[in-house]
Amino acid sequence: MLIVMCITLLQVQAQRIVYSNTSIDLDGELNESIWETLIPEKDFKNYIPNNGSLAPNTTVVKMFHNGEKLYISAVYTDVNPTVQIGSLKRDHIGVSGAESDSFAIIIDTYKQQQSGFFFIVNMGGALIDALVARNRDGFRVNTSWNTIWNAKTSTKGNQKIYEIEIPLKALGYKVDSPEWGVMFHTRNIKLNEWTTNTAIDRNYQLFDLRFAKTFQVENLSENKTSRFAVTPAVTMNYAKDVTNNTDDTTLKPSVDVQFNVSSSLKLDATINPDFSQIDVDQQVTNLSRFSVFFPERRNFFLENSDLFTGLGVRGVNPFYSRRIGANSEISFGLKLSGNISKKTRLGVLNVATKSEDNSPSQNYGALVIQQQLSNAFTATGFLINRQETDGFSFLNDYNRVAGVNINYQSKNNKWTGLANIAGSATNNISGDNKFYNLGIWYNNINASGHLGVRKIGTNYITDVGFTPRLYNFDALTGTTIREGYTQASSRISLTKFYKNSTTFDRHRYFNMSNQSYWDDLGTITQATTVLNNDLVFKNQSSVYGGLRYEYVQLKYAFDPLNNGNPILPNLYQYLDFGMGYDSADNKQFQYGGDISYGSYYNGHKNRIRINTQYRLTPLARLQIRYERNGIDLNELGKATFHLARFTGEIFFSNRLNWTTYIQYNTQFDNFNINSRLQWEYKPLSYIYLVISDNYNQDITRKNWGIAFKMNYRFDF
């Protein structure tokens, strides 16, 4: 009995983040005596391969804090001393993280399973910091968020050693909530192995906060140190318009401020911001009738961004921050976000834009309150406002959206539900302005599924949102018609995992989905049915294929060839087939691609996609992606669209890199070169030199420019 009590006591002690009035010399050596006194977190489980079994390569993690900083050590015992690194670039989660020997920490400081902080360091010292946020039935990661933290690594024989320092001020938390959800991941890219400190079934994402282990934080107190961070910047920009033979040189100062109102509530401010250093969007070939979603990359909008971006569903979201500043520059922005109590989160945002050309000045506001009602239910209420301004006066040109969302998650993590109701108000427009949604998801190790229905009124207008299907462009008249619709969606997926096989990892042998749409008269306008499957081998290479059937009652003329001969309204039914292969991602040379062929409206379409990558580890990474779409619409004409993207990265160190993107897109008559030299000369203080050069598809220069930006972060 005494032995059982001692074992139980040790288990309780092992799940604590202890307090010690101690600092360490961050060098990756673990020489300090404090490390010897801490109870380790160990017995990691396999995520890939052999999901759920005890990992043969051990990881031992220890943690403590001193009231100002959280310290974490991890020792991974490898099968050999070789280190493999895919990239040294900061925040490149797919390569610096997933394609490198690395270690990751995920922290849910409120243990609400809504959002958390994600930190990764690879054996080359490249840092990745990100936010994890709930996204319908799962979670998503945004790496555009940044904070100051540090890590050092070393090797000792077969041991990979990580030593990590995270300031507590980087983590929003409540003093009266000393229970944190914590997850650790170890990545061995050579073996294509992922191990975790908590068992996570393969049908869930590695960063699913529902699987975080509870840790008690000792002596957690309000963090009083360094509550201000001020980052002034200056940008010098030269732009040359070759087509019109004009040029322009500007000097633009800006400043960002962050104030920790409390350890759980942050105030962000930006004045005259410049985002010239942001990576260019990856271009796509769009053969649909609707707009394409691009992610937000601007840091100001990212802290607690899930509060604002998770207010709707995919394709119907009342808040899409990329609308802000799309037509004119931002003059200033304020955002207050975080937890105001253990179970209550608040988000308040206000941004003003300048008047430019035909775009009047606007004020954008958002208020979001999220309340955890129980362990299973969370409610979110919101109000979004866009209003034209004249100086400090508000004009009678506005759009407002208000609504309530209810999220449900079962105790066993298998069931997830989402209900939405919202309405909009726009000057001079009334009626039919509601949005309703109800969705439910089921997920276990071998089967998953989804059922959902939503209705969008014709006048559910979201000027600061993303509702592309509400707007239908008629290629005959050149007008856009706003039209409401009802959508039903369903999916069922069956997967078999081969735990004891030396060849196969998993086989998704049945995956069927359907998306159907009806107009307000009850006429079905489109139904898309997809049937596919994939087979993943033990080395994580994969082969896949599937069928897609489209039923389209086209109501408005559509010109995918952009040649003035649109497809006319009529009933169209078409079918295509595709298959592809992706090689293992732990090789120096990676490759993959797919092909598809089938009918398309009144003609045919074929597509070829190729993706290759070569790593000169860890000095450089070269990637080429190519997509070719051939469309033949018989008497309406035919066209071939080429989309190519070259990415070249050179790493001088984990603080200094040079990245070049070259994109060629014949659908949008664009050939673009963007080259950026980035030096992080001090944590989160950067110097950027960016060159952008734009041509048409015939390689005739349209414009080019060069920008130099420097910022410096002060912590007070």
- Strand, helix or coil at 457? coil
pLDDT computed for residue 15 by the predictor: 85
Taken in order 629, 632, 633, 635, the sign of the CA dihedral is: positive
Q: How far apart are CA 413 and CA 594, in angstroms?
A: 34
Residue with tokens 């308040």: 348
> What's the angle, vertex CA 449, arms to CA 443 and CA 451, rounded to 5?
125
- Strand, helix or coil at 94? helix
Q: How far apart are CA 277 and CA 279, in angstroms?
A: 6
HSE, side-chain direction, 13 A CA sphere, residue 661: 17
Q: How far apart are CA 107 and CA 103, in angstroms?
A: 14
Q: How far apart are CA 335 and CA 383, in angstroms?
A: 14
CB atoms closer than 10 angstroms to residue 25: 10
> Residues with Cβ < 8 Å from 160, sequence gap 6 or more?
75, 76, 77, 78, 83, 101, 103, 123, 153
Q: How far apart are CA 386 and CA 365, in angstroms?
A: 7
Q: How far apart are CA 595 and CA 618, in angstroms?
A: 32
State the amino acid at position 192 in one-letter form: N
> Residues with Cβ < 8 Å from 12, sequence gap 6 or more?
none
Token pair, residue 261, equals: 């109102």
Q: How far apart are CA 427 and CA 73, in angstroms?
A: 57
> What's the angle, vertex CA 313, arms to CA 311 and CA 316, rounded to 5?
95
pLDDT computed for residue 607 by the predictor: 97
8-state DSSP, 97: I
Q: Which of 470, 550, 465, 547 is nearest to 511 (CA)?
A: 547
Judging by DSSP bridges, how do beta strands 102-108 and 69-77 pair with one another? unpaired
Q: Which of 449, 442, 448 is nearest to 410 (CA)?
A: 442
- Rg over alpha carbons for the chain, rounded to the nearest Å, is 26
Residue with tokens 């080395």: 539
Residue with tokens 């006066």: 393
Q: How far apart are CA 485 and CA 452, in angstroms?
A: 14
8-state DSSP, 291: -
- CB of 573 within 8 A of CB of 548? no
- C-alpha distances (whole Å) from 670 to each of 242, 364, 662, 701 are 15, 32, 11, 10
pLDDT computed for residue 279 by the predictor: 75
Q: Which of 338, 480, 482, 487 is nearest to 399 (CA)?
A: 482
Token pair, residue 281, equals: 């969007």
Q: How far apart are CA 437 and CA 459, in angstroms?
A: 16
Q: Which of 103, 92, 96, 87 is nearest to 159 (CA)?
A: 103
Q: How far apart are CA 61 and CA 41, in angstroms?
A: 5
> Residues with Cβ < 8 Å from 606, sequence gap 6 or more?
595, 596, 597, 598, 629, 630
**DSSP assignment string, 207-233:** T-GGGPEEEEETT-----S--EEEEEE
Judging by DSSP bridges, how do beta strands 59-65 and 16-19 pair with one another? parallel
State the amino acid at position 565 in one-letter form: N
pTM of the entire predicted model: 0.86
8-state DSSP, 475: T
Q: How far apart are CA 446 and CA 250, in angstroms?
A: 58
CB atoms closer than 10 angstroms to residue 256: 19
What does residue 672 show for φ and ψ, rounded to 5 degrees? -130, 140
What residue ranges of the chain have pLDDT lower than 50? 1-14
With 0-12 / 13-18 / 19 or more C-beta atoms within 10 angstroms meaning exposed / middle / buried, residue 2 is: exposed
8-state DSSP, 6: H
Q: How far apart are CA 666 and CA 645, in angstroms?
A: 12
- CB of 56 within 8 A of CB of 43? no
Q: How far apart are CA 519 and CA 90, in angstroms?
A: 46
- The number of residues in the chain equals 716
With 0-12 / 13-18 / 19 or more C-beta atoms within 10 angstroms meaning exposed / middle / buried, residue 124 is: buried
Question: First vs last Cα of the chain: how many Å apart?
Answer: 54
pLDDT computed for residue 224 by the predictor: 56
Token pair, residue 698, equals: 């015939």
Largest CA distance in the chain: 88
pLDDT computed for residue 175 by the predictor: 83
Q: How far apart are CA 469 and CA 700, in angstroms?
A: 35
What is the number of helices (H) and of strands (E) in the chain?
3, 40
Burial 596-609 (b: 16+ CB within 10 A, else e): bebebbebbbbbeb
Q: How far apart are CA 370 and CA 265, in angstroms?
A: 14
CB atoms closer than 10 angstroms to residue 591: 14
Q: Residue 388: beta bridge partners?
A: 362
Q: Which of 201, 193, 170, 465 is nearest to 326 (CA)?
A: 465
8-state DSSP, 313: B
Judging by DSSP bridges, how do beta strands 59-65 and 69-77 pair with one another? antiparallel
